Amino acid sequence: MSIADFLAGVHPWDRLPVADLGAVAAVTQPHSFAAGEAIYRAGDPLKGLYIIRSGEVEVTDPDGAPLSSLGPRNVFGERGLMRDGAALTNARAVAATEILLLPTQHFRAMIDRDAAMHDFFARSRPPRALQRSLTQTPVAALMSKAPKAVSPDTTLAEAAVIMRDDRISSLMVVKDGALCGILTTRDISARVVAERLDPDTPVSRVMTADPVTLPPDAIGSDVLHLMMERGIGHVPIVSEAGLAGVVTQTDLTRFQAESSSEIIRDAAHAPDADALADITRRIPQLLAQLVGAGHRHDVTTRLVTDIADAVTRRLLALGESHLGPAPVPYLWLACGSQGRREQTGVSDQDNVLMLSDDATEDHDAYFSDLARFVSDGLNHCGYVFCPGDMMATNPRWRQPVRIWRKYFQGWIARPDKEAQMLASVMFDLRPIGGDHSLYAGLQTETLAESARNSIFVAHMVSNSLGHAPPLGLWRGLATVRSGEHRDRIDLKLNGVVPIVDLGRIYALRGQLTAVNTRTRIESAQTAGVISASGARDLLDAYDLIAQTRLDHQALQVRRGEAPDNFMAPATLSDFERSHLRNAFVVVRTMQSALAQGRALP
C-alpha cells in the first residue's frame, strides 16, 4: 500500500483533498525501528510528526512512567511540535515498527495552510491552551447555575442572608418576570456598610438598575471585554424567554485556570485522601469546560481518565507509605471505562491486583490492606465502589499471575454466562501502577487463545448483542418505561455500551491489543476485521452518541446538577433526534452483521 493510500485511511488526512494528500505523502518518509529501539527521548529535538504504519510504540513520561501504548494509524509527537519542537516524552518501539515521518517544516506548512488540520492537532496540545479558548466558548458553557433572584422590595438584610447562606456574590433582582437590577457583594460593601444604611432598606435602593446583559449566543471573550470596559464582575445572561444565568469573574478565572494537567499535578502531591477528594471535585467543571471548548468526546474522556489514573497511583504511593514497601512485586490494573480511557462525569471503580508468582498466603494480608486503602480512597474521591464487587478488595480479583492465567484459560475453555461476563470485563484491563512486566505477554497470549476457540468467540458475540440500541417503532426512540428515569434514553447502557461491545469483539477476532473503543475500531479496519466503510459508519455513529452523552452531562454540570447518563429525547431538536436515531440504526446494522456471521459492511 502506498503512503498516500495509507494516509487516506487515517484521520485527519482522510479529509484532505486528493492533491493536498498527495503533496503530504510525497514528503513523508518511512523509517523502521527494531523492538526496544528508542524513537526519541524527552528533550530531543523532534524531527517531525510520527505516524505508526505497523507495529507498536510505547510513550512514557520523562521519568519513564508509561503514558500510552500506540498501534497502527496512531499519531505522536504533535505536542512537542505544537510547542517549541522538543520532545515532551520518550517513545520506543515495543515490536518491530514502521513509522511514517512528516518532517517538521512540512508539518508546520500543512497546519498553517489548512485550518482544519491546525484545529485537529491543536486539540492535542497541553490543556493549558484552554486559557486562550474564550473566543471559541459560548457563554452557556461558562454560566453559573440558575442564578438566585429576589424581588425589588426584598430588604438588604434578607438579601445578605441569602448571599451568605448560598455562598454567592450576586443576586438578580426580578420584577414581573423581567430582570430589573443586580445586587453584588461590592454594592453591599460600598453602598450599604459604608453609608450605614438601614438593614430594612429595599434592595431597589442599592441595586445596579437595568444592568448590562448579554444573550446566550455570546462568547466568552464578549464577557471578558464587557467586564474590562465597564469595570464590573458580573454579567447576567438574558434570552428572549428571560433570565438564563450569570457569568462572574470567578467563572472566567475557573475556566481559564482549570486544566487536567494542573489537576494531575495537584493529585500527584496530595498528602492524603481528603486532599485528593478536594481535587477530584474539580472534575465536573473540567468536563463542562472541555465540552464547552469544543473538544471531541475521546479527547475529553481521555483527559478525565488520566486524572483517575493519577489519583490511583497517588493512593498506591500513600498506601505503601502507610503500610510499608510491598513484600513482592504487584500491578494494579483498571478495567471498565477507566481501563478503556473512556471515563465521563459518572464513574464507579473497576480494578484488580496481579501479584508476582512469588506471592504466598502470608503476603495476602498486606495486599488486602493495600487494596482496601486504595479502594476506600477512590470511593472517597467520587469513584464509587463497584456494585458487582469487581475490585481488588475482593480476594478473587487479587491473585498471582499464574492464577490469572488459569482464570482466562478457564473462561475460554468453559464459556458459560458468568465466564462471558468476566471475560468481557477483563479484556478491557489496563495497567495503572506497579510492575508492568507482570502483565506483559498475558494479554497477547489470552487474545491468541481466545481467537482459536470458535465456541468461545461465538458465546462472546452472543453476549455482546445483549445491549440493544434504543430504537422504537415508527422511527421513534425507545425510552426507559418506568422508574425515576422514565421517558429518557440511557445513553450509556443502550448508547455507547453496544459499540464498546462491538469494539471488544473486533479486537478479539483480530487479536488486537488496543483497549480504547475508538482505537479498537480503527485498528480493526486496518487489520481487515471490518471494512473501511463499516468502520467509518460505526466511528461516526460512536462519535455522535458519545458526544451527545457528554453534552448532556456538561449541561447538567452547568445547571449545578449531578451528571448522569439519562437524556430526555424531547430536549433535542427534530434534526438532532433524526441523526441520533440514524446513529443507532448503524449500530444495530453492525450488530446484525456480527450475529449472522456475514462480512461486515
- Please state, in angstroms and rounded to a whole number, the distance separating the CA atoms of residues 54 and 48: 18
Predicted pLDDT of residue 138? 79
CA distance 471 to 16: 35
Q: For residue range 113-144, what is the model confidence (pLDDT) as tens digits? A: 776 677 667 543 333 333 345 666 778 778 87
Other CB atoms within 10 Å distance of the CB of residue 131: 12
Q: What is the pLDDT of residue 221?
A: 78
Assess contact for 340 and 410: CB atoms under 8 A: no
Owner of C-alpha cell 459492511: 601
Cα 588-592-597 angle, rounded to 5 deg: 150
Given the DSSP bridges, would you call strands 398-400 and 351-355 parallel, antiparallel or unpaired? parallel
Question: Is the pLDDT assigned to residue 320 strictly greater than 90?
Answer: yes
Task: Tabulate helix, strand, coil % of the chain (nearest 5).
Answer: 50, 15, 30
What is the pLDDT at residue 164? 87
* Cα-based distances in Å from 582 to 204, 465, 521, 541, 595: 53, 19, 19, 8, 20
Q: Residue range 260-282: average pLDDT?
A: 89
48-54, strands of its sheet edge to edge: 29-33, 97-103, 48-54, 75-76
Question: Which pLDDT band, with edges at 50, 70 and 90, does 82 fall under?
Answer: low
**How confident is residue 72, by pLDDT bands cut at 50, 70 and 90?**
confident
Give 597 or 545, the one with higher predicted confidence: 545
The predicted pLDDT at position 57 comes to 86
CA neighbours within 13 Å on the CB side: how many for 252?
Answer: 22
Please give the C-alpha separations between residue 308 and each of 90, 382, 493, in angstroms, as whole numbers: 22, 10, 22
What percent of the chain clears pLDDT 70, i.e. is strictly above it?
92
Q: 139-252 belongs to which homologous superfamily? A: CBS-domain (3.10.580.10)
Annotated domain spans of the chain: 3-125, 139-252, 258-443, 465-596
- Beta-strand pair 149-150/489-490: unpaired
Q: Which CATH superfamily is domain 3-125 in?
A: Jelly Rolls (2.60.120.10)
The C-alpha atoms of residue 514 and residue 331 are separated, in whole angstroms, by 19
Highest mean pLDDT among 35-44, 80-89, 349-358, 462-471: 349-358
Query: What are 54's three cell numbers?
Result: 505497523
CA distances, 322 to each of 349, 369, 387, 435 (Å): 22, 10, 27, 19
Q: Are 456 and 412 in contact (CB under 8 A)?
A: yes
Residue 61: its pLDDT value, please?
A: 62
**Least confidently predicted of 190-199, 405-414, 430-439:** 190-199
Tens digit of pLDDT for each residue in 538-561?
999 999 999 999 999 999 998 889
Which residue is associated with the grid cell 450599604?
192
What amino acid occupies position 439?
Answer: Y
Q: DSSP secondary-structure letter at 445?
A: H
- Position 549 scores a pLDDT of 95
CATH number for the domain whose boundaries are 465-596:
1.20.120
85, three cell numbers: 519542537
- Cell numbers for 345: 462525569
- Give the C-alpha separation, 579 to 80, whole Å: 37
Residue with cell 520518550: 90
Share of the chain above pLDDT 90, in %: 48
Using CA atoms, how far apart are residues 39 and 54, in angstroms rounded to an integer? 14
Helix axes 273-280, 364-380, angle to 10 degrees: 40
pLDDT tens figures, 152-180:
999 999 999 998 888 888 999 999 889 99
What is the spatial distance between Cα 339 and Cα 549, in angstroms, rounded to a whole number? 19
Fold (topology level) of 258-443 = Beta Polymerase; domain 2 (3.30.460)
The pTM assigned to this predicted structure is 0.62
More confident residue, 144 or 48: 48
Side-chain half-sphere exposure of 558, counting CA atoms within 13 A: 24
CA nearest neighbour of 234 among 135, 153, 143:
143
| Greatest distance between any 2 Cα atoms in the chain | 84
pLDDT at res. 259: 65
